[in-house]
Amino acid sequence: MQNSKSSSAIPLGPIALLAASALLLSGCGKQPDPEIRFMDYAGDYGSKPFFARVEHNLPLTAGVEERRQLALVTPKYLAGLDQEKVDQIYARLTAGPIPDGPFDGDLFFPEGSSGKLRAAEIVSGLKSLAIRFKAKKLEIIGSVLWKGKVFYRDEMLLRNRIEDLALLAPLIDDMLSVPKIEVNGRDSWLLFPARLYCGQSLLDGRRESVIIDYAFTDELPGYREKPDFLAGRRGFQVRDEIRMIRPGFYLGRAYLGHTFVLNFTLYNDAIASKELDRWIETGRTSEDCWVGSQRLASTAVD
């Protein structure tokens, strides 16, 4: 085990946790990292522990204390983990309810075991390679451009929130007609529509994730070829999947054509404020997707 001793963490009241996590998510607070335990691993794929074993040995959402630790998780904390740790967290989550409404987004690229970005580890040294990796730049561009997602649960649709259209201007037809909403007092333009459904995780098959699928984006209301095609089947073939860390806070994985590219988080303060308390105490949340037979088996045993 690399980390342990969750029992030594000082129990915090749910209200304090809520306040702390809201502050942390807004980037204004300072709080110790959650004490989340991980199983050992090394660099090679074969050294990675089986997710079923990780969950069996180190369940993440089973008890009040574990959920208190999850309540301390922040995007910044996740972005500081290497990818294997992010994966071990993701695999121990369930999909939770299919979200509804606007969510703030953050993204981060996978980090390898050396502490460098994983893609940079792979191609470092290819000095003459035309596509030399610029992940950090992409991360910054992505963060500026993409501010989150708006879920339309009743229609099982989603649109992405863009706050700065200028960067996309050359790719957008008729910018003035791009639909707009206001989130937290700021304008967000809605682009890149996608379908929502419960489906297969490309990382962990043991239970479903909420899938955000752009393959047939051109069939969705409000689709505009430029720039929405970029996410669709003729574009970069984007497919996201998310699982719930705690109510109102989701961890996501973005794929291009089945290839994992980056992690992201989604946060809705209103949902978190309303539901965190009860969730920490009871662990109850609605599950719209199949939770898997391992989860059902452990629930039955409990």
Partner 1 sequence: MECRFLSGWGRFFAGSLLLAAGSVYAAASDSVTAFGASGYYSLDAGLNASQRAGQEIWYKATAGNDRFHTYVFQQRIGVLIDWYRILNGRERDDRFAAWGLINDPDCCQPGSAGCPAQSYDETYGFDWCPGDDALLRSVGKSDYRDPACDFTEGPTAPGDPHGGSDQRQSACDLKFGTSSGVLGLRKFPNPRFDAARWREVNGGRVDTWAGYNRPLSSNPENSDSRVSHLRDGSIEPPFRFGMACGACHIAFDPLNPPEDPAHPQWENIKGVIGNQYARLSEVMASGMPASSLEWQVFAHARPGSTDTSAVPTDQINNPGTQNTLINIGRRPLFENEKVDRWRKVSACPEAADTGACWCEPGRASKCWEKSEQLDTVHHILKGGGDSVGVDLAVQRVYINIGSCSEACWVNHLTDLRQLDPQQRNFGQTPMDIGQCRRDCPNFRAIEDRVNNIVDFLLSPRLYATDLRAARELEVKRSDPAASYTQADFIEDLELEFGQGAVSRGRELFAQNCARCHSSQQGPEETRDFYAESQPGVRADFLSNDVAVPVSEVGTFRCRALHSNHMRGHIWDEFSSTSYKERAPDRNVKEATEGGRGYYRNISLLNVWAQAPFMHNNALGPEICGEPKNRANDFYRATYVDAAGALLTDQPKCWRYDPSVQGRYDLFKASMEQLLNPAERTPKITKVSEDIVIELGPRLWDGEEEKQLLGLKLVVPAGTNAGALGNFQHKEFLVDLILSKVNVKRLRERLKASPNADAAEEVITELQAIADQVIENPAAFLDVVRQRPHLLALYSSCGAVEENRGHDFGGELPQADKRALIAFLATI
Chain contacts with partner 1 (rule: CB under 8 A): 43-46, 48, 50-53, 56, 83, 87, 112-113, 118, 122-126, 128-130, 156, 195-197, 199-207, 211, 213, 215-216, 225-226, 229-230, 233-236, 257-260, 290, 292-294, 297, 300-301
Contact 119, 135 (CB under 8 A): yes
Given the complex with partner 1, which of 32 and 205 has the nearer CB atom? 205
- Compare residues 146 and 249 and give the one whose CB is closer to partner 1: 146
Smaller CB separation from partner 1, 273 or 294: 294
The CA–CA distances, whole Å, from 219 to 32, 91, 113, 128 equal 46, 32, 41, 41
Q: Which is nearer to partner 1, 5 or 258 (CB)?
A: 258
Q: How many CA atoms lie within 13 A of 163 on its CB side?
A: 17
Closest distance to partner 1 from the beta carbon of 43 (Å)? 5
CB of 48 to partner 1, least distance (A): 5
**Nearest distance in Å: CB 165, partner 1:** 19
With tokens 């409404």, the residue in question is: 101
Bond into 110 cis (ω within 30)? no
* Least distance in angstroms from the C-beta of 296 to partner 1: 8
Q: Which residues of 140-152 are buried (b: 16+ CB within 10 A; e: fewer)?
A: eebeebbbbbbbe
Report the phi/psi class of residue 21: left, alpha or beta, with left for phi > 0 and alpha for psi in -120 to 50. alpha
User: Given the complex with partner 1, which of 132 and 180 has the nearer CB atom?
Assistant: 132
From the CB of 245, what's the least distance to partner 1, in Å? 20
Q: Minimum distance between the CB of residue 134 and partner 1, rounded to whole angstroms?
A: 15
- Minimum distance of partner 1 from residue 19's CB (angstroms): 37
- Minimum distance of partner 1 from residue 263's CB (angstroms): 13
Structure tokens at 106: 């953050």
Closer to partner 1 by Cβ: residue 12 or 138: 138
Burial class (CB in 10 A: 0-12, 13-18, 19+), 219: exposed
Residue with smaller CB distance to partner 1, 127 or 137: 127
Helices H, strands E: what count in the chain?
A: 10, 9
The sign one gets for the Cα dihedral 169, 173, 176, 180 is negative
Question: What does residue 42 show for φ and ψ, rounded to 5 degrees?
Answer: -125, -160
- What distance in Å separates the CA atoms of residue 47 and residue 49, rounded to the nearest whole number? 6
Nearer to partner 1, 28 or 131 (CB): 131
